[in-house]
């Protein structure tokens, strides 16, 4: 009987977006499993592939079928669940299956790597075929066994946990090792050595004598040096005599920069108990159920998560917690670690490739039970998921902008169906989509209306900056805000000042001719970075030194502008020379762990004012913060985005929530040029539902989600005429295939009309229910992949786009 593997190959192009049959060579049949990566011949070369199915027959004629070249994983890297999920992602987001498979793995597994087998027991216990390999070293490259046809033996030893298997990443990260000392396990040998050491070598004798109490132990050399006040030469000498040996031991890199204190469960408030009860009830019933936990800022949503997770762990299950961008919320991670300690792994963008890989392995090997991470942590390879939590579910970072264009919320719900477990979507300001679903009872709504410690919400004042201007105040601080800051400084309370970033990224402008430095490849102005005096494009990475003269008119009046936080900092220094200010923005948080250090310093009272952008809006929970100032509420309001009002409301509510969370009452001052806008008016009263009603009405009238669905088609080409022509073709084609009640807007130029030297056009499709849409889009893609692609066109489809 033959064994055939269906393999998805690592070539993202339409004609190959299906499984190919490969023959599993006889020596691999015992070890081949679905979810393993393999090397297979594809055309003239070998490519990476994923085994997605195994079977005993094939339609490919036997003389034509090619054998698998090499098996890369003896233990599969993808579970059966992940293989199913990939198929679903492929259909749901219209992507290549290979992209869906790759997105589930840490990048280390996509890079070059080498497999290593590590001994986990005494050499004596190994089967005789393997013994000689581990005599000299604890670690042997897997390829040694492969060459010598020993893979079946290794597989068996792996199952019996006598050895373990690791990927050693060759390029970016490596399994980290430390050198340790293993003291000789045989007492007789030690005695013999001891007797042979000459009396003059006192230190050596002392050391070996000490070793009698540590027979067979493994320890760090430093401990030996300290304990015996001895040197590395002495240790080296006794090692040469055979009393001990150096070994390499693998360690996980520690992504946590500091230790945390253990915390205990809090006594829940009535509202919290009710919410927790409903969640645990769903767990007991083993039902998939999606909860929307709508709780005002400071209402104790996190405590509900923590106790739900505790229950899940009691049942022997695992938990996945997503946070929007974890590097921005160190306090959040800390709260999970302080409750669950070593059982927590973190996955976020600030970790190195090696650290990410190590955290992933902890999950894959079952060493941890809780993952706290950003979007991609939704693919944590747990096999027994008991709960999935999305904190701040409204955040747009949960949607991936590149293929596969998935939303973590949808994947969470898919996995909850697979594992029959609950999903909790938590927010003080839920997305309109989610709240609408809770009204329709698709999600179960849980509400926390009061703050956990019964504090009242902060008072909010809105200051009209136009009036300030009329009164001759040209500063970016209103009278009101200055006064409020002064009072806090006197009372030694803390202040958070929030700058709505987008309108404030620094750019370089010529004061004589008005030229703004632009990227060579994109239609976007370059961002100025003071630290290295460079201007950089945030889209393509292009960078230049700040020129001394204007490239247009040669004037030397060329200066950077709108440096946002830096400028505010300077102004604070003028107004309040005595205030200690911590600035948190892209420039001050470049190095790893700097977010954490800055927040810690602020928490420890080392500064009076924390000044920052978006990144301070979330998670901050310090008792001494009693004033929050929003310098410019409008900047996010006027973005060309149908969610602009929603985002502004969310942001204002989030930052306001930072004030007065503990015993001292809080105050918020919002400065704006449009106080009459409903997003600002309703943020003032901090009531979600009136905002929801109002915004739903707007969306209904304008034909936007959640009333309509959106699909965005983007077309780009190096040549502007080609891009326009094919965008027109796509629009015409769609109009001819789709029914009349669908509106197709465009083609229009995209928000950023040129990116990396490609001109971009787009069509927006608005639809209600259109069973024909996905098949039609698939046909369009087929047309593109079989023909347009050859002309250099790139076409992408984004269902439910977050950015238009």
Listed in sequence order, the residues at least 6 apart from 356 whose beta carbon sits closer than 8 Å to its beta carbon are 106, 107, 108, 173, 347
The least distance separating ligand ADP from the CB of residue 452, rounded to whole angstroms, comes to 3
Which of 661, 684, 760, 766 is in the footprint of ligand ADP by CB under 6 A? 661
Residue closer to Zn ion, measured from CB, 388 or 522 = 522
**Which does residue 123 touch among ligand ADP, Zn ion, none (CB within 5 to 8 A, set by kind)?**
none
Shortest CB 548 distance to Zn ion, Å: 12
Q: Are 626 and 493 in contact (CB under 8 A)?
A: yes
Does 599 contact ligand ADP by CB under 6 A? Answer: no
Closer residue to ligand ADP in complex, CB, 334/667 = 334
Cα separation, 793 vs 783, in Å, equals: 12
**Chosen residue from 35, 49, 76, 300 binding ligand ADP by CB under 6 A:** 300
Residues in the chain: 804
The item of ligand ADP, Zn ion, none sharing an interface with residue 622, based on CB under 5 to 8 Å by kind, is none
**CB-based contact 79:48 (threshold 8 Å):** no
Between CA 452 and CA 448 the distance in angstroms is 9
- Binder of residue 387, out of Zn ion, ligand ADP, none (CB less than 5 to 8 A by kind): none
Is 409:79 a contact under the CB 8 Å cutoff? Answer: no
Contacting ligand ADP within 616-635 (CB under 6 A): 621
**In angstroms, rounded to a whole number, what is the distance separating the alpha carbons of residues 148 and 145?**
5
Choose among ligand ADP, Zn ion, none what residue 269 binds, the Cβ cut-off being 5 to 8 Å by kind. Answer: ligand ADP
Residues 26, 218, 266, 573: which binds ligand ADP (CB under 6 A)? 266
| Nearest-angstrom CA–CA distance, 623 and 546 | 43
Identify which of residues 338 and 515 has a Cβ nearer to ligand ADP in the complex: 338
What's the min distance (Å) between Cβ of 428 and ligand ADP?
7
Give the three-class secondary structure for 278: helix
CB 460 within 8 A of CB 656: yes
How far apart are CB 757 and Zn ion at their closest, in Å?
A: 8
Separation of alpha carbons 138 and 156, rounded Å: 18
Query: If binding means CB under 6 A, how many residues of this protein chain bind ligand ADP?
Result: 17
Residue 263 or 772 with smaller CB distance to ligand ADP: 263
Sign of the CA dihedral running 41, 42, 48, 50 = negative
Contact 355, 173 (CB under 8 A): yes
Cα(85)–Cα(98) distance, rounded to whole angstroms?
Answer: 12
Contact string (CB under 5 A) for Zn ion, positions 459-498, x = contact: ----------------------------------------
For the chain, how big is the Rg over CA atoms in Å?
31
CA distances from 134 to 74, 149, 155, 163 (A): 19, 16, 16, 10
Inter-residue contact 2 to 54 (CB < 8 Å)? no
Query: Closest by alpha carbon to 302, among 621, 628, 603?
Result: 621
Residue 300's binding partner out of Zn ion, ligand ADP, none, with CB under 5 to 8 Å set by partner kind: ligand ADP
Q: How far is the CB of 313 from ligand ADP (least distance, A)?
A: 19
Write down the H helix ranges in 475-625.
Answer: 479-491, 565-575, 594-603
Residue showing the smallest CB distance to ligand ADP in the complex: 300
Q: Is 298 in the site for ligand ADP (CB under 6 A)?
A: yes
Is 275 a residue that touches Zn ion (CB under 5 A)? no
Q: For the segment 302-331, give every residue that binds ligand ADP (CB under 6 A).
A: 302-303
Q: Under rule CB under 5 A, which residues in 520-539 are in contact with Zn ion?
A: 521-522, 537, 539
- Segment 392-411, which members bind ligand ADP (CB under 6 A)? none
Judged by beta carbon, residue 300 or residue 430, the one nearer ligand ADP is 300
Binding site for Zn ion (CB under 5 A): 510, 512-513, 515, 519, 521-522, 537, 539-540, 542, 550, 552-553, 555
- Residues found near ligand ADP in the complex (CB under 6 A): 266-269, 272, 295, 297-303, 452-453, 621, 661
């Amino acid at each position: 009987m033959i064994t055939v593997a269906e393999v998805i190959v690592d070539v993202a192009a339409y004609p190959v977006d299906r499984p190919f049959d490969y023959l599993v060579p006889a020596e691999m049949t015992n070890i081949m499993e679905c979810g393993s990566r393999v090397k297979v011949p594809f055309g003239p070369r070998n490519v990476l592939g994923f085994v997605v199915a195994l079977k005993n027959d094939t339609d490919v004629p036997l003389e034509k079928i090619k054998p698998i070249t090499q098996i890369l994983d003896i233990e599969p890297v993808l579970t059966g669940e992940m293989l199913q999920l990939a198929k679903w992602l492929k259909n749901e987001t219209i992507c290549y299956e290979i992209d869906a498979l790759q997105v589930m793995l840490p990048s280390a597994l996509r890079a070059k790597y080498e497999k290593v087998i590590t001994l986990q027991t005494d050499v004596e216990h190994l089967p005789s075929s393997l013994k000689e390999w581990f005599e000299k070293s604890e670690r042997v490259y897997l390829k040694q066994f492969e060459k010598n046809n020993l893979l079946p033996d290794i597989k068996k030893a792996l199952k019996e946990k006598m050895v373990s298997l690791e990927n050693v990443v060759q390029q970016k990260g490596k399994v980290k090792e430390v050198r340790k000392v293993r003291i000789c396990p045989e007492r007789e040998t030690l005695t013999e050595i001891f007797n042979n050491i000459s009396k003059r070598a006192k230190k050596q004798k002392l050391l070996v004598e000490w070793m009698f109490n540590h027979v067979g132990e493994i320890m760090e050399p430093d401990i030996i040096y300290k304990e015996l006040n001895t040197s590395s030469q002495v240790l080296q000498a006794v090692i040469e005599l055979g009393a001990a040996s150096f070994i390499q031991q693998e360690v996980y890199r520690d992504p946590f920069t500091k230790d945390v204190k253990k915390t205990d469960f809090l006594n829940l408030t009535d509202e919290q108990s009710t919410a927790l009860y409903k969640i645990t009830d769903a767990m007991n019933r083993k039902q998939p159920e999606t909860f929307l936990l709508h709780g005002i800022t400071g209402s104790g949503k996190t405590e509900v998560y923590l106790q739900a997770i505790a229950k899940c762990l009691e049942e022997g299950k695992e938990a996945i917690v997503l946070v929007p961008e974890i590097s921005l919320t160190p306090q959040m991670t800390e709260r999970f670690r302080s409750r669950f300690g070593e059982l927590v792994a973190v996955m976020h963008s600030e970790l190195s490739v090696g650290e990410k890989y190590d955290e992933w392995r902890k999950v894959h090997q079952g060493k941890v039970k809780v993952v706290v991470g950003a979007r991609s942590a939704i693919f944590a390879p747990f096999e027994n998921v008991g709960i999935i939590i999305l904190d701040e579910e409204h955040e747009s970072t949960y949607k991936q902008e590149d293929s596969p264009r998935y939303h973590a919320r949808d994947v969470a719900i898919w996995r909850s169906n697979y594992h029959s477990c609950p999903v909790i979507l938590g927010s003080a300001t839920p997305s309109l989509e989610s709240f609408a679903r809770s009204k329709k009872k698709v999600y179960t709504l849980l509400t926390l209306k009061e703050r956990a410690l019964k504090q009242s919400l902060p008072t909010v004042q809105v200051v009209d900056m136009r009036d300030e201007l009329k009164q001759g105040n040209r500063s970016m601080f209103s009278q009101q805000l200055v006064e409020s800051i002064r009072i806090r400084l006197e009372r030694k309370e803390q202040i958070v000042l929030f700058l709505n970033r987008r309108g404030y990224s620094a750019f370089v402008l010529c004061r004589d001719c008005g030229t703004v430095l632009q990227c060579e490849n994109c239609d976007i102005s370059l961002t100025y970075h003071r630290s290295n005096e460079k201007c950089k494009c945030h889209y393509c990475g292009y960078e230049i030194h700040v020129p001394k003269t204007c490239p247009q008119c040669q004037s030397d009046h060329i200066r950077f502008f709108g440096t946002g936080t830096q400028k505010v900092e300077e102004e604070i220094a003028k107004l309040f020379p005595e205030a200690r200010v911590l600035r948190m923005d892209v420039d001050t948080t470049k190095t790893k762990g700097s977010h954490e250090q800055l927040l810690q310093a602020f928490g420890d009272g080392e500064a009076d004012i924390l000044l920052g952008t978006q990144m301070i809006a979330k998670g901050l929970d310090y008792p001494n913060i009693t004033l929050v100032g929003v310098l410019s509420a409008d900047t996010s309001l006027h973005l060309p985005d149908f969610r602009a009002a929603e985002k502004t409301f969310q942001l204002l509510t989030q930052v306001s929530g930072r004030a007065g969370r503990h015993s001292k009452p809080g105050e918020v001052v919002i400065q704006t040029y449009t106080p009459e806008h409903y997003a600002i008016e309703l943020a003032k009263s901090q009531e979600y539902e009136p905002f929801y009603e109002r915004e739903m009405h707007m969306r209904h009238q304008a034909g936007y989600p959640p009333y309509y669905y959106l699909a965005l088609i983007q077309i780009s080409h190096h040549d502007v005429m080609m891009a326009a022509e094919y965008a027109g073709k796509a629009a015409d084609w769609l109009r001819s295939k789709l029914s009349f009640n669908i509106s197709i807007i465009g083609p229009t130029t995209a928000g950023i009309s040129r990116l990396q030297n490609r001109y971009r056009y787009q069509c927006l499709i608005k639809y209600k229910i259109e069973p024909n849409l996905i098949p039609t889009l698939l046909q369009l893609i087929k047309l593109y992949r079989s023909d347009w692609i050859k002309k250099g066109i790139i076409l992408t489809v984004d269902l439910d786009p977050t950015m238009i």
